[in-house]
Chain A
Amino acid sequence: MTTLLYNHPVCMEHDMGYGHPECPDRLVAIYGALKQPAFAALQWRDAPAATPEQLIRVHPQRYLDRIMAAVPKDGLRALDGDTALCPSSGEAALRAAGATCAAVDAIMAGEADNAFCAVRPPGHHAEPGRAMGFCVFNNVAVGAIHARKVYGLDRVAIIDFDVHHGNGTQAVFEHQPEYMYLSSHQWPLYPGTGRSSERGVGNIVNLPLSPYSGSEEIRNGWATLLAPPLRAFRPDFIFISAGFDAHRLDPLAQLNFTEDDYAWLTREILDIAAEFCKGRVISTLEGGYSLSALAASVAVHVRALMEAPALAQIA
């Protein structure tokens, strides 16, 4: 079967100013890796813009109006101290959220097993009514709700291994037991949420990691604290908030993950997807600010996604 790769040129035009680490070059680095012959089997698709109907399941209409009205004709418009819009940002944000919905549609139609959405701006910090931490729309939340509402799935899980806690995704789902949100992240770190005591209605699982944690801590944490509740949840669809800023070379945090850890974690997730939901996985780019580490980590992540069918057969 097939792995889809969603992207759009406008996602490379979203530019928050000179030197900002969440920059277009991140996608240049990723595409550079994924255009290699080893990835020839990837099916590239243009990310469509999310529809108002898809977005409003997460973000109130007045927030959508405010964001689109804030898109400047030229220059930059700040949404918070670290998040800004340029003239292309509105369309980029719409397509970033639309990518997850299109990927859901394609997978539910049997066109592919899984997908990676190489889009920006990222999404997991975006709360229903608040852009923050480089994020505008919560791309993964929009896709997850789309999967449940349109296809009548009972349970959707979201696994977030970005180094920062996905406060936005947690805020969207913490009162909705049909969704499970599981996150590993450095703590303390921005945005300050993600303590293990934050459990929602029993559907939020946070694994805060101390600075300098690496392979051993994430693999043990996954096996003992994240995988068991995920299995018990029996997901019908799995989303991944795929941030690669827990890598040992990332300049924005102090965890010590390696490419091998990302490959391992991806295979672990795919194993569970094969067991419970026919391998249905959509992974969406969040953070990752060392361009070389990002490219290498995305490469092993996507490679694991492409090899998933073999895993599914074994399972």
Chain B
Amino acid sequence: MYEFLKYTVKDVMTPSPLTTTPDTLLRELEKIFETHDFNGIPVLNHEGRLVGMVTKYDLLKAFIFTPDSPIPRYGLIMDRPASSVMSLDPVTVTPDMPLSRLLQELVELQTKSFPVVENGRLVGIISREDVLKALRRTTEA
């Protein structure tokens, strides 16, 4: 009944997730999303520090209509770097965070996944799907 309360982020996160760099082009990001079906990818700088998160939403947002031109320059936008669309200073969580608290943040921030950081290093990523899986596992009859 109360099994879920015992879970922490590290129990269900994906360790050592795929990451990208600030200068990765949007067309390369799109391929990653197509291949792996992630919601978001952590962006690491050359020293390996987390500098942002880039999501499918960020990618889509790059193509909306703006006052700059009557038609978005679809091809040129694909050649922009991840740094031009990523969220800076993303909300991070720690591996020891109770999953009940993580669930609360997922809902309140309407975020699909959080990077998991320990001692300044990225150690994993945790998504809605991971939490749903834990809920199913802990409530099975």
Contact = CB atoms under 8 A, between A and B. Distances in A.
Q: Decide if A and B are genuine partners.
A: yes
Interface of A: 21, 81-82, 133-134, 164, 188-192, 252-254
A47 B73 CA distance: 33
Contacts, number: 28
A21 B71 contact: yes
A188 B67 contact: yes
A74 B128 CA distance: 56
A134 B67 CA distance: 15
Interface of B: 65-71, 73
A164 B71 CA distance: 12
B71 A189 contact: no
A78 B63 CA distance: 22
B67 A252 contact: no
Contact of B65 (A81, A82, A190): A190
B114 to A, nearest CB: 31
A21 B66 CA distance: 17
A286 B58 CA distance: 33
Nearest to A254: B65
17 contacts: A21-B71, A82-B69, A82-B70, A82-B71, A134-B70, A164-B70, A188-B66, A188-B67, A189-B65, A190-B65, A190-B67, A190-B69, A191-B67, A192-B68, A252-B65, A252-B71, A253-B65
A81 B65 CA distance: 15
A195 to B, nearest CB: 11
A313 to B, nearest CB: 41
A254 B65 CA distance: 10
Contacts of B65: 189-190, 252-254
B124 to A, nearest CB: 39
A246 B92 CA distance: 42
B67 A81 contact: no
Contacts of A164: 70
A192 B70 contact: no
Contacts of B67: 188-192
B64 to A, nearest CB: 10
B109 to A, nearest CB: 25
Contacts of B69: 81-82, 190
Give the 7 A-B CB pairs with smallest separation, nearest first: A192-B67, A190-B70, A133-B70, A190-B67, A82-B70, A188-B67, A81-B69
Nearest to A190: B70
